[in-house]
Amino acid sequence: MASGASGRKGDALSVYQRGTSMAVIQGDEDANVLIGTLNDDIILGHGGDDIIIPRFGTNTLDGGSGNDTFRLTGIEGTNFYRGGSGFDTILVADVPHYINYVAISIGTMSGIEAIQNTSSKDAYIVTNSSLDLRTIALQNIKEIWGGDGANHIYAEVIHDRSLGLIGATVRGNGGDDSLWGTSLADTLDGGDGDDKLYGGDGNDLLIGGAGADQLYGELGDDQLLGGAGNDILVGGAGSDTLSGGEGNDLLHGGAGNDHLFGGAGADVFWFERNEGTDIVYDFTSGVDKIYVGSSVSNVNVLSHQGNAVLSFDDSTYVILTGVSPSAITGSDFIWA
């Protein structure tokens, strides 16, 4: 940026960096409407309840003090938001008819209290960086997408105009992502990379995708899909369904009556005391293993309708469907 650029508040200053024009647009202490250019802009609201309307390019937006609105119409590039003091809102409105959906592309964000979509189009939050939405009111947001890098995304409950409060759909895409769900029913999709997914409360769907993923359902009746790779799946409390997919996976249903599918590969099924009655649907003796947790003292092999039933201190029961009790040997167990 060229040195010596100056001007009054309210002016658009043309400055240059490596031959690219960049506008600096400033408001004053009153309520201003500040509109970006076709280039990369820096827009500074300063005081007052400002309306800031970015356009194309990569823009840095700072509302300053006051209750500011960053107004989007679907033609913007990536924006870096700083709300400042006051109640600040990213608002999607007045989207042209030729735009099918709106990507709210966020570089970084601080001081934003609400992200709202009042248009008739679907709106998606898109970021290549870490994003914490837990204290932000989301309204009519379809999904939250990470980029191809390593993302850390904390989701928030979304208020949908027709469905009321709903959980979030968060997609990590490429990279080693960490995704956190909400208190409602969420869908977390890690995509490629070695991802960590945390469902939180609610009945969640966690999809690891390719890579060595870690999926934690936590509370609620969750469905965990590991996908390809050597994954760790932990259901937590509730009646969960765990499916490891391809690879050598570790599955732990946790408290509640769980359904476990190891999938292809040599899988390990982990059990502790007082974890309900679980069903393992594809255990292969001599290939898969039963991990006996440190809280367990004794394991007995019982029979029910021709299937082996493992009793862990008479407090956790595991049905191995299609496996004869006589097929179970000591080598099938790993003791903590």
d(C-alpha 158, C-alpha 299), whole Å: 45
Q: Which two tokens stand for residue 98?
A: 């030729």
Give the domain-ending residue among 75, 107, 141.
141
The answer as to whether 234 is a domain residue is no
The confidence score (pLDDT) of residue 20 equals: 54
How many domains, the chain? 2
| Domain coverage including residue 95 | 1-141
The answer as to whether 22 is a domain residue is yes
Give the domain-ending residue among 112, 141, 170.
141
DSSP single-letter state for residue 232:
E
Same domain, 1 and 137: yes
The answer as to whether 323 is a domain residue is yes
The answer as to whether 122 is a domain residue is yes
Q: Which two tokens stand for residue 220?
A: 């609620």
- Asked if 186 and 170 touch (Cβ cutoff 8 Å), the reply is yes
Backbone φ, ψ for residue 221 (5° rounding): -90, 100
Sheet strand arrangement including 232-234: 131-132, 152-154, 178-180, 196-198, 214-216, 232-234, 250-252, 268-271, 289-292, 333-335
The answer as to whether 274 is a domain residue is yes
Same domain, 137 and 270: no
Burial of 232: CB neighbours in 10 Å, binned 0-12, 13-18, 19+: buried
pLDDT tens string 60-81: 999 999 999 999 999 999 999 9
The answer as to whether 296 is a domain residue is yes
Average pLDDT estimate for 203-230: 97
The answer as to whether 34 is a domain residue is yes
The answer as to whether 75 is a domain residue is yes
pLDDT tens string 161-179: 767 777 889 998 888 999 9
Give the domain-ending residue among 114, 141, 168.
141
